Amino acid sequence: MKNIAEVTDATFEAEVLKSDLPVLVDFWAPWCAPCRMMSPVLEAAAENLSGRMKFAKLNTDEHAKTAKGFGIFAIPTMIVFKDGKEVNRMVGFVPQDELESQLHPHIAVGPEPSDQDPSCQL
C-alpha cells in the first residue's frame, strides 16, 4: 500500500496526532475479511486525496494499546483525526463514494485562487 503508512503504538502520536494534515486511520487485522475488502477502497481514496489527507493503518492485533485507547471494539474502524482530535468515525465496510463523502469536510484545502491576475494590476 504505497499511499498508506503503517503506524504502531510507538509512532501513532507523531504520525497521526501531530500531523499537519488530517489523517484517516484504518484500525484493522489481517484475519478480518471486511478489513481486506476496505484495502482497495482506502488505497483509491488515498490516491485521490494525496497531499490533502494522510492515510494510515494500525494492526489491532499487534498494537492493541492504541486500539483500546480509542475504544475500538469492531473492525474495520476508520477514524479521522484533525489537529490531534477525532472528528469522524466509520465502522464496517464503507463504499468509496460514501467514504470520500465522509472525508470531504475534513480534507485540507489550499489557498483560494485569486480573482485577479497580478500581472494586470496597476
Out of 21, 29, 32, 91, the active site residue is 32
Q: Give the span between the Cα atoms of 76 and 71, in whole angstroms.
A: 13
- Any catalytic annotation for residue 120? no
Out of 16, 35, 75, 99, the active site residue is 35
Beta-ladder partners of 68: none
Cβ neighbours of residue 27 closer than 8 Å, sequence gap 6 or more: 58, 60, 67, 70, 72, 75, 76, 77, 78, 79
The residues that are catalytic are: 32, 35
